Amino acid sequence: MKSVIVVVLASIVSAAVLAALHPGALGAQSPDGRAVFLANCTTCHSPNGEGGGPYPPLAANADVNQIDSANLIRVVLDGRTGPVTVDGTQYGGDMPAWRAQLSDAQIAAVLSYIRSAWGNDAPSVSPNQVAAAREPEALSGSAIFTLKCAACHLATGGGTVDFPALAGDAIVTSASPGSMLEIIVNGRTGPVMIDGKMYDGIMPAWPGQLTDADLAALATYLRTNWGNRAAPVTEKDVVTAGASITLRIGESLFANNCAACHGSAGQGGTGPALAGSPRVTSDDPGTMLATIMQGRGLMPSWRGQLSAGEVAAVATFIRSSWGNNAGPVTVEDVTAIR
Ligand code: HEC
Ligand code: HEC
Ligand code: HEC
């Protein structure tokens, strides 16, 4: 199993490094969401997103504008049969599945397009999120648990004398998933007293290995199995769970996507130093976010490559690392950039 993880990681990292070293090639590969829409979706949803007859509008549709994109990704991957009510009107028909026809990058691009066209205004969708959603959520949550967690906590979630049970655990099933996410993302070292028993081991951290969508799927699996009956966790819950989680996710995103050009300590390289850059630490993060979202010169555009939550996390990280000391960046700051 270890070798599977290593191979998967190696391929993710090498893809990221290749993309970083060949921004031109990256641009050439990333599909045009509008073109995907015009080629596949307009017979039913019409070119201006207004829909008609049994087909729901995508313009001014609250489902399409949700911050959390998990449901939309699933509808486009696997289709759905109505009825569905949009803005008080009921529509019914078959939305076809696109799993076999469209790649992760094409689905990410077309969703990013419909979430930003016709007055819609929602965070973009990244190919990583679509890749994670290709497996049903509970399944990918269980796959991640089997690969990374079951060795210590056991497949039954029952734990051992050294590792706490996650079945029935108060932190796992708490109304707010924040403390659990914090422990999964940052790791923790005992000693700690859980349910009257003392544990004194190391709960590892997972730098660079779990995306927002992975964490949502894993957390949902923990909270809904082995008799646990807590509410599922969405990507939005992960993105908004707290500063230390955001920072840790931002740190991994930076290492995987940015360090090749900006240096592992932000000291610069092909790209300028981010440590000490007045544009990075400016009170108004708009100029910096525009560079990240739109690209400039050799700096690739990350629109459609990273979700808005991921851009907020990496931007928060670079504003508060290596001696930089500026405030956090929110998802709303990112979606305000056109
Ligand atoms: C054959 C007609 C047809 C085509 C082609 C089609 N759709 Fe749909 N779509 C529908 C129908 C019908 C529904 C409503 C399904 C329901 O009632 O649950 C729908 C629903 C949706 C929804 C969910 C809307 C909501 O309010 O929940 C999204 C998003 C969507 N389609 C996007 C797309 C995209 C993107 C494409 C192209 C890749 C596409 N559709 C192509 C018929 C179609
Ligand atoms: C190498 C063994 C090991 C692995 C692998 C491991 N854990 Fe843990 N985990 C621990 C130990 C030891 C503790 C208790 C010590 C502590 O939290 O400081 C713990 C604690 C936890 C807690 C906190 C429970 C509580 O009530 O405080 C959660 C939640 C958790 N682990 C989830 C996971 C998840 C999810 C994974 C997989 C992504 C995972 N663990 C992988 C060893 C491990
Ligand atoms: C292929 C190399 C490359 C990669 C990968 C890259 N950058 Fe850049 N970046 C550059 C270059 C070159 C510039 C300068 C662009 C210009 O001004 O012409 C730049 C500029 C910037 C700036 C503006 C700095 C300033 O002082 O104006 C920020 C912020 C930034 N990058 C952040 C990032 C983040 C965050 C990532 C990862 C998500 C990233 N970059 C990935 C090459 C890269």
pLDDT in tens, 152-194: 999 999 999 999 999 999 999 998 898 899 899 888 887 888 8
Say which ligand is closest to the CA of 80. Answer: 1
Average pLDDT over residues 1-19: 39
Q: Residue 211: is its pLDDT beyond 80?
A: no
In a domain, 164, yes or no: yes
pLDDT in tens, 107-131: 999 999 999 999 998 888 888 778 7
Residue 233 and residue 141 share a domain: yes
- Of residues 256 and 135, more confidently modeled: 256
Contact 95, 80 (CB under 8 A): yes
Whether 125 is covered by a domain: the verdict is no
Asked if residue 4 has pLDDT above 70, the reply is no
How many domains does the chain contain in total?
3
Angle ∠(222,147,305) on CA atoms, nearest 5: 85
201 CA distance to ligand 2 middle (Å): 9
Residue nearest to atom 32 of ligand 3 (CA): 292
Residue finishing a domain among 95, 119, 143 = 119
Please determine, for residue 86, whether its predicted confidence score (pLDDT) is greater than 60: yes
Confidence band (pLDDT; 50, 70, 90) for 10? very low
- Ligand 2 atom index nearest CA of 201: 12
The answer to whether residues 139 and 206 belong to one domain is: yes
Cβ of 186 less than 6 Å from ligand 3: no
Domain that holds residue 81: 31-119
**Residue 191, domain CATH:** 1.10.760.10
Residue 108 in domain: yes
Residue 11 has a pLDDT of 41
Task: Report the share of the chain in percent with pLDDT over 90.
Answer: 45
Q: Which of 237, 258, 284 is the last residue of a domain?
A: 237
- Cα dihedral sign for 337, 241, 182, 306? negative
191 CB-contact burial (10 Å; exposed 0-12 / middle 13-18 / buried 19+) = exposed
pTM over 0.85: no
Same domain, 143 and 226: yes
Instruction: Check pocket membership of 261 for ligand 3, CB cut-off 6 A.
Output: yes
Indicate whether 37 pLDDT > 90: yes
Q: Is 312 exposed, middle or buried (0-12, 13-18, 19+ CB in 10 A)?
A: buried
CA distance 330 to 70: 19
Number of continuous H segments (helices) and E segments (strands) in the chain:
19, 8
Residues 292 and 207 in one domain: no
Q: Are residues 111 and 36 in the same domain?
A: yes
Residue nearest to atom 27 of ligand 3 (CA): 279
Which pLDDT band, with edges at 50, 70 and 90, does 136 fall under? low
- What residues contact 134, with CB distance under 8 A and at least 6 apart? 77, 99, 104
Mutate to test the pocket of ligand 2, among 1, 172, 192, 203 (most ligand atoms within 8 A of CB): 203
141 lines ligand 2 (CB under 6 A): no
CA dist 288 and 316 (Å) reads 11
Same domain, 60 and 92: yes
Residue 16 reports pLDDT greater than 50: no
Q: Is residue 13 part of a domain?
A: no
Residue where one domain finishes, among candidates 237, 269, 295: 237
Q: How far is the CA of 164 from the centre of ligand 2 (A)?
A: 7
